[in-house]
Amino acid sequence: MNEWKVQLIPQEQRESYATLISMEWRTFLFEDETELFAVNSDETPCGALLARMMNGRYEVVSLYVEEPYRQQGIGRNLLSAARRSAMEKEYGMLDVCYRVPLDQSEAYMRFFLQQGFTMPREQLCYYYAPIDRLAKTQLATYPPVNEKISAHIFPVSRIPDADARVSYSFILSRLPVGMRAENAPGTLLDDYSLCYVENKNVIAFVIFSEWEERVHLHSVYVDSPSAGRALVALMREAYELLCREQDRFSGFSTMVVNMKSYRLAEALLLGAEPEKHCVYQAQKPLTYSVPLLPEWGGVLARSNALYDALAATGGTVSLYARPDMQPYLTWQPQADMELELFYYVKNEDYTAFSLVAQQRLDTPLEQVALHKQEMEEDPGPASLVPDTDNQSLALVAVQLEGADFVPQQTIEGFLQPFIRQAKRLRASIERTVNNRKTTNAGD
């Protein structure tokens, strides 16, 4: 396997790597609070990683390797370079955020798990359709807005009635900041961003922007299910505008962040056969080399306190302490379950500790997608991560604790919910195994 050299690219040289950066992040390529790592083959860019530092986070937002160079370790080397940079800057976590087509999500999930990240969690879904396909949607079959309804529709930036403007401002104060027009990606489309006013109140609005040659639906609001008719009128009015200048845009796009917006996007684009990409996020804790002493003694003291508390609750507890390794505990709350518990000192004054709880699972890494829905529908304090062998899975959770050990907080507030989550996941794994046995027997 080739040894690929990763380079940190200065801002004045980044233009050559723009095509290797995800389209939605190219505008950040020359920002000060970003880092670009790249790999070249015979002076030709073949892989790149863009990371940004914001709000106390070091986040990988784009990672791409050209097709002929994949499966050669380039992606892994780029991530390693980002990890080293994050550690040099004393970040505690390496975050990743990536967007992939639905049919590739499992492969990406497996890749990040193999690199030691938590199981990627789906954050939102991105839809795209060529502009000419909108004519195939149900929206195109609705009758044009008549004069009576049109009298209720105004651009959100030019609402004529003062009371209605107050109503719109009040709505915005209760919604996430990201839904506002000024936070739409690209350039706001003023004539497309419309609201529906009824009895001097805004009962619905839509925000559109022009983003990378496409018309982008940024946000949608209706104040009640009965206002759905108003939303249809706004969307139809925007569609009429779009039909008059189709050559202006190459496509239509939108992002969804919850089930309501998902259903709306599916209904709007039914018939257009849109492309779907999901955005995922995952994290990897960054561990630092620290002297075993005197930290060893601090961890031992804290582990002893936890040992006594666990022994009082029942089950089997064991404390392992040798001078050449950090002390840790194993706890069997029941005969068929064993938890591994590790303490780490978070500061020199021993006023902050982190407790890591781990449950190894008898399921291969390849089956992580089977348990993804189970984890999202019935969450707990833990995440799925690769086990030390990078072949199987483990359930891992972390709790931060103060200088004083509080048994109730640690056992009832952290470990008991962890155990309940582990039981649910193990039951899901057992059902999967049994279903496969039944299927194989039927064959």
Q: Tens digit of pLDDT for each residue in 361-380?
A: 877 777 766 766 666 666 78
Average pLDDT of the segment spanning 128-156: 92
Ramachandran region of residue 171, left (φ > 0), alpha (ψ -120 to 50) or beta? alpha
Q: What's the confidence (pLDDT) of residue 433?
A: 66
pLDDT tier at 1, thresholds 50, 70, 90? very low
More confident residue, 435 or 410: 410
Q: Residues 6 or more apart from 353 whose CB is under 8 A from it?
A: 302, 343, 344, 345, 346, 400, 401, 402
pLDDT for the residue numbered 406? 92
d(CA 39, CA 50): 12
Name the β-bridge partners of 266.
none
- 151 confidence band (pLDDT: 50, 70, 90): very high
| Distance of alpha carbon 384 from alpha carbon 397, whole angstroms | 9
Query: Cα(276)–Cα(295) distance, rounded to whole angstroms?
Result: 49
Confidence at residue 289, expressed as pLDDT on a 0 to 100 scale:
47
Flag whether pLDDT at 353 surpasses 60: yes
Highest-pLDDT range among 102-106, 174-178, 408-412:
408-412
What the block records as the tokens of 247 is: 């050559």
Rounded to an integer, what distance in angstroms lies between the CA atom of residue 294 and that of residue 411?
26
Query: What pTM was estimated for this model as a whole?
Result: 0.54
**pLDDT at res. 322:** 63
Residue (of 276, 314, 321, 316) closest to 300 by Cα position: 321
| Sequence letter at residue 172 | L
Interval 15-57: pLDDT, tens: 999 999 987 788 889 998 999 999 998 889 999 999 999 888 9
For residue 285, give the DSSP letter.
E
Residue 103's pLDDT is what? 81
The two beta strands, 352-364 and 392-402, are antiparallel
